[in-house]
Amino acid sequence: MKYIAVILILAGLAPTGWSGPMENGRSPLPQVDALIILDRIQDTRNNFPQPNPATPDLKDKQLSSSQLEDLLRDANPEIRKMAVKSAKTYILNSFAHDRVLDILQNANERLDVRVEAARTLSYAAGNSRIQNALIDIIKYGNTLSELRVMSYKALWGVAGGYSRIQDFLIDAIKYENDRAARRAAIWAIFDATRNTRPRETLIDLLKYGNEEESTHIEAIKSLYPAMGYSTVKELMMDLVRYGNEKKPVKLAAIMALSGASGDSRVQSFLNDLMRYGNDTDIKTAAIEASSPGAAKIREYFHLGYKIENGTFVSPIENE
């Protein structure tokens, strides 16, 4: 019982993570409102800060590595699941990620425990073994949609800096047959959309793809970090202007324009929506986009952020 209480406490703590080398550089983002907003609320570019030193109070409640190892092998799947969550504290250590990898790859493990393992491994996704394991789950776990979805999303932190992960996600966006898994690939690539190929892939999807509404909205959200580019701003305004898009897609595009509201053309467009629009929802969205709140932006566009003590909160925690 003592172990269970300790795990429950730790599971609520913000995790540590990996801060690894960049394999390739990024295209510079023009300095517009999207960059200012992103800098205020998060730094998602492969930034998994190390934890702040624990207070004496928390130190007394932390599991030791040996305790965690035992709990990851517990006979009770609920205990294993909570131990997997708590393993984020140690995930950079081989004993932790090896055991969590075992859980991820164990076909006899309960599905929700394996899903939690994929989430936890996202914090060490700079490790090539972990990347390969997540990709194998995606390639060969065809009957396990929920696990494949989380495995795609677990790659988000390395999408911007590893060309092979970018290529893998771009191929998934083009060819993945499972709709939920395809949306997960779109979600995972958001931190890479300042790079040309990921950005153009999503632009083409929105322009030419015969997509369902939820896929269009996910693509819009993932383009938010690229709102400094004129092609993205023009696309968002076109999605609102023309009548073939459903209202939820238009509302998402207006919200995305909040990342470029400092651009005079964008602000003029939003002003026209506020002044001449006939739809209350469209008007309300334009008002919100003109003066966006950081909290709403990071929640809507699934951005990571730092809390007051400097601890990083990964967007995957809300998935």
The reply to whether 191 and 89 lie within a common domain is no
Q: What is the pLDDT of residue 48?
A: 42
Q: Would you give the DSSP letter of residue 22?
A: -
Residue 254, pLDDT > 90, answer yes
Of 109, 124, 139, which residue sits at a domain end? 124
Given pLDDT bands bounded at 50, 70 and 90, which one contains residue 294? confident
Q: Pick the closest to residue 86 from 54, 60, 64 (CA basis).
A: 64
For residue 312, list its beta bridge partners.
Answer: 306
The reply to whether 167 and 213 lie within a common domain is yes
Q: What is the pLDDT of residue 114?
A: 98
Residue 210, pLDDT > 60, answer yes
Range of the domain at 264: 17-50+125-318
pTM to 2 decimal places: 0.81
Residues near 49 by Cβ (< 8 Å), separated by ≥ 6? 16, 17, 19, 306, 310, 311, 312
- Residue scoring higher pLDDT (6 or 244): 244
- Residue scoring higher pLDDT (111 or 28): 111
C-alpha 243/C-alpha 24 separation (Å) is 40
The reply to whether 10 and 142 lie within a common domain is no
The reply to whether 116 and 218 lie within a common domain is no
For the chain, how many structural domains are there in total? 2
Q: What average pLDDT does the chain have?
A: 84
C-alpha 96/C-alpha 155 separation (Å) is 18
The reply to whether 25 and 164 lie within a common domain is yes
The reply to whether 222 and 107 lie within a common domain is no
Q: Which two tokens stand for residue 2?
A: 């003592």
C-alpha 37/C-alpha 49 separation (Å) is 20
Q: Give the residue-averaged pLDDT of 148-171.
A: 97
Q: Map tokens 């890479």 to a residue.
A: 192
Of 90, 124, 158, which residue sits at a domain end? 124
The reply to whether 86 and 207 lie within a common domain is no
C-alpha 48/C-alpha 56 separation (Å) is 23
C-alpha 147/C-alpha 142 separation (Å) is 9
C-alpha 71/C-alpha 170 separation (Å) is 38
The reply to whether 21 and 70 lie within a common domain is no
Distance set, CA 36 to CA 33, 81, 194, 227 (Å): 5, 38, 15, 11
Q: What is the pLDDT of residue 247?
A: 95
The reply to whether 35 and 87 lie within a common domain is no
The reply to whether 136 and 65 lie within a common domain is no
For residue 305, list its beta bridge partners.
Answer: 313
Given pLDDT bands bounded at 50, 70 and 90, which one contains residue 162? very high
Q: Which two tokens stand for residue 31?
A: 């300095």
Q: Which two tokens stand for residue 308?
A: 């007051």
User: What is the Cα 154 distance to its own chain's centre?
Assistant: 8
Q: What is the pLDDT of residue 288?
A: 93
The reply to whether 208 and 90 lie within a common domain is no
Q: Pick the closest to residue 302 from 186, 131, 145 (CA basis).
A: 186
Given pLDDT bands bounded at 50, 70 and 90, which one contains residue 305? confident
Residues near 268 by Cβ (< 8 Å), separated by ≥ 6? none
Of 106, 124, 142, which residue sits at a domain end? 124
C-alpha 301/C-alpha 45 separation (Å) is 15
The CATH number of the domain where 35 resides is what?
1.25.10.10
* High-pLDDT (> 70) share of the chain, %: 81
- Residue scoring higher pLDDT (96 or 15): 96
The reply to whether 139 and 69 lie within a common domain is no
